[in-house]
A and B are shown apart, each in its own frame.
Chain A
Amino acid sequence: MVLIVNTTSDTSITDRIKEQAAAKGLEPDVVEAASLKISHCIGCNFCWMKTPGECSIKDDYEIILKKVIHADQLWVISDTALGFLDHKGKNIYDRILPIATMYLKFKGDQMRHVLRYDRKTDIGIIYRGEPDKEYLERWNIRATLNFDSKSLGVFSFDEVKEAVSCMC
Chain B
Amino acid sequence: MHVLIINGSPRVKQFSNTDKILAKFTEGMCENGTTFEQYEVSDRKQWDDIRKAYYANSNILIALPLYVECIPGLLMEFLETLSPKNDGTRIAYILQSGFAEGVQLRCGEAYLEKLTGYLGCEYAGTLVKGDNFSIRFFEGAQQDRVTGPYTEMGREYAANAGFDTDKCRAFTGFEVMPAHLRLILKVVFRTVGRVMFKKIAVGWGCTKPLDYRPYQ
Contacts and interface: CB of A to CB of B under 8 A. Distances in A.
B193 A104 contact: yes
Contacts of A105: 186, 189
Nearest to B104: A110
A25 interface: no
Interface in A112-146: 114, 116-117, 132, 135, 138-139, 142-143, 146
B19 to A, nearest CB: 12
Interface in B162-204: 176-177, 179, 182, 185-186, 189, 193-194, 197, 200-201, 204
A106 B197 CA distance: 17
A51 B208 contact: yes
Contacts of B152: none
Most buried by B among A48, A104, A116, A117: A104
A125 to B, nearest CB: 13
Contacts of A83: 111, 114-115, 118
B210 A143 contact: no
Main secondary structure of the interface of A (DSSP, over half): mixed
Interface in A76-96: 81-88, 90-91, 93-94, 96
A43 B42 CA distance: 10
Nearest to B42: A42
A149 to B, nearest CB: 13
B205 interface: yes
Most buried by A among B80, B193, B210: B210
Interface stretch (B50-58, B62-70, B140-148): B62-70
B94 to A, nearest CB: 16
A49 B111 contact: no
Contacts of B138: none
A42 B114 CA distance: 25
Given A41-B73, A81-B80, A82-B79, A106 B11 contact: no
A45 B176 CA distance: 25
A94 B73 contact: yes
Given A94-B67, A139-B111, A111 B100 contact: yes
B87 interface: no
In the A-B complex, the 8 residue pairs with the closest CB atoms: A87-B77, A91-B73, A87-B76, A40-B74, A40-B73, A43-B11, A90-B73, A52-B212
29 contacts: A40-B10, A41-B67, A41-B72, A41-B73, A43-B67, A48-B210, A49-B200, A49-B210, A50-B201, A52-B201, A52-B206, A52-B208, A65-B215, A82-B118, A85-B76, A87-B80, A94-B72, A96-B68, A101-B211, A103-B189, A103-B197, A106-B189, A109-B176, A109-B177, A116-B213, A135-B114, A138-B110, A139-B70, A143-B70
